[in-house]
Amino acid sequence: MRNAWIRWGAAVAAAALVALPAMADSFPTKTVRIVVPYPAGGATDNLARQVSTVLAEKTGQSFIVDNKPGGATVIAAQALIQAPPDGHTVAFFDPSTVAMNQFLFKRLAYDPTTSIVPVTQMVRIHFGLMVRADAPYKTLKEYVDAAKAKPGTITFGSSGAGNAVHLAGERFKGLAGIETAHIPYRGGAPAMQDLVGGQIPSVWMDLTSAMPFVKAGQVRVLAVASTKRSDALPDVPTFAESGYPGFTAGSWFGVFVPAGTPAPVIAQINGLFREAIANPKITSWLATVSLDPATGTAAEFANLIKSDTEAYGAVIKRIGFSLD
């Protein structure tokens, strides 16, 4: 694995050295497909659609979103890997695909260090624990007290099994000393819909997927798992403020291409998406959905993934969780 990381780091470093203007007049030359591993309506999908509009305006080419949910993002990973490595198919992944699945499956259908290449991180995302607006518990303490009073009776949903938001819920269970069963969904949108519909009593979810339901008065966020309160939810306390100092949980979304994509094309894609995230239309939208812009070079992104791989691997091994 160490040698794989060295090869991967060398590849993205080489891409970062290529000057952007070299490809400015020749890429993209046709429609660009953005593979998203979750259903329409979730945070990743919404980000992809916002960015695709800006990039289409900038380049004069179409950017289409191709939702490939299921399989703990493996289906989307395979769709990317099987695409021609010419830059006209990219994917928006979170840590599940490149930093977690290798520990969750005994036999993973792809090698994240050799078949998928990181281009740039785009945003940081924050998590929270939430319930229906009419739920009997109004605070995190009341939720924990209810879970302790009747162990195993409260369930929590998430956007998928073994992903970052699911593991955040598992970590909090251990910290709070409660027994709550996990119900995985194929994305944030269906989980939120079942919460609002009363099929599940609580969800751990990224704030972006939850915001439309919060603004509609259908969902109450009990606490946010960030170091400070969200600007979009200034009245919602952090977990630290609610009695769990030091507890934070979040993730990121980034751009990836299949292995074999030419370094000049990777450099151009990096520039295009970084410019898109910096576009005032996007930065304004990000603020309303509690996403933080966070872009950088391909090499910087590779280093982040390496660090997350080590951290998530340790957590997954410690709790003994597997998707096999």
Q: Is the pLDDT of residue 20 over 50?
A: no
Could you give the CA distance from residue 304 to residue 301 in angstroms, rounded to a whole number? 5
Tell me how far CA of residue 124 lies from CA of 226, 251, 296, 302, in angstroms: 11, 6, 12, 15
Residue spans of beta strands (DSSP E) within 215-287 = 219-224, 250-258
Q: Is the pLDDT of residue 15 over 80?
A: no
Local structure of 309: helix, strand or coil: helix
Q: Is 204:160 a contact under the CB 8 Å cutoff?
A: no
pLDDT for position 12: 53
The pTM (predicted TM-score) of the whole model is: 0.82
Q: Is the pLDDT of residue 2 over 50?
A: no
pLDDT for position 26: 72
4, two tokens: 């794989």
Q: Which domains does the chain have, with CATH numbers?
A: 2-124+251-319 (3.40.190.150), 125-224 (3.40.190.10)
Could you give the CA distance from residue 324 to residue 318 in angstroms, rounded to a whole number? 16
**pLDDT tens column, 199-236:** 999 999 999 889 999 999 999 999 999 999 998 899 99
Q: Is the pLDDT of residue 7 over 70?
A: no
Taking residues 282-302, report their average pLDDT. 94
From the DSSP assignment, how many helices (H) and strands (E) are in the chain? 12, 10
Q: Across all residues in the chain, what is the average pLDDT?
A: 91
Residue type, position 87, single letter: G
Tell me how far CA of residue 218 lies from CA of 97, 213, 230, 267, in angstroms: 31, 5, 19, 43
